């Protein structure tokens, strides 16, 4: 968050509870308005009829909010405040994925699903746990043998799927 905005008590409309909590900790008047960017776009006009609004985001995004609101009365500008750097898998992780023993992979973003899909690995033995149906579709394209989608796009729903899978896997 840009230093000038910290402690400002400005309204902040967030995707996800964790983001809302982080924004509150930085001194913003944060509201958990939606669980997805698309749902946030639908909700914003009902809670905020005037702008301008700033969409504080990373370099990679699944939804360009400024573009989404361009032809509407609500002005939104994108401000890139962080970069999500793609890192190679650790050697131990890569080796685990090369084996035929199933690995359970929680996948929280479309970008992560796309990056995994580009790796020269056989995904058929492995189980993807996707945050959303859109991410599950990318996992399907990558060739995962099993795919489960969380009931809601949040951390708690992901844990609710992963925990029983881990219990089954560990026997």
pLDDT tens digits for 7-55? 999 899 999 888 899 999 999 999 999 988 899 999 999 998 888 999 9
Helix/strand/coil for 48: coil
Residues of the chain with pLDDT under 50: none
What is the model's pLDDT at position 119? 95
CB atoms within 10 A of CB 147: 20
Query: For 150, what's the count of Cα atoms within 13 Å in the CB-facing half-sphere?
Result: 22
For 10: left if phi > 0, alpha if psi spans -120 to 50, otherwise beta; the answer is: beta
Instruction: Go through 58-74 and write b for each residue having 16 or more CB atoms within 10 A of its CB, e for each that does not.
Output: eeebeeebbebbeeeeb
Report the C-alpha gap between 155 and 153 in whole angstroms. Answer: 7
- Cβ pair 38, 68 in contact under 8 A: no
What is the model's pLDDT at position 16? 87
Name the pTM for this structure.
Answer: 0.82
Helix 133-142 and helix 110-118: axis angle, to 10°?
Answer: 0
What is the model's pLDDT at position 99? 87
């Amino acid at each position: 968050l840009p230093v000038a905005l910290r402690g400002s008590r400005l309204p902040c409309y967030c995707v996800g509870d964790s983001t809302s909590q982080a924004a509150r900790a930085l001194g913003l008047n944060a509201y958990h308005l939606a669980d997805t960017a698309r749902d946030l776009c639908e909700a914003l006009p009902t809670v905020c009829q005037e702008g301008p609004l700033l969409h504080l985001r990373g370099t990679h995004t699944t939804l360009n909010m400024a573009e989404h609101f361009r032809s509407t009365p609500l002005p939104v500008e994108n401000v890139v405040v962080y970069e999500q750097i793609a890192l190679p898998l650790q050697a131990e992780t890569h080796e685990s994925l090369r084996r035929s023993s199933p690995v359970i992979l929680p996948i929280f973003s479309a970008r992560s699903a796309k990056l995994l899909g580009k790796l020269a690995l056989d995904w058929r033995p492995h189980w993807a746990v996707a945050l959303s149906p859109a991410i599950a579709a990318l996992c399907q394209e990558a060739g995962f043998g099993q795919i489960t989608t969380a009931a809601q796009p949040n951390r708690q729903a992901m844990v609710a799927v992963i925990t029983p899978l881990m219990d089954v896997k560990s026997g």
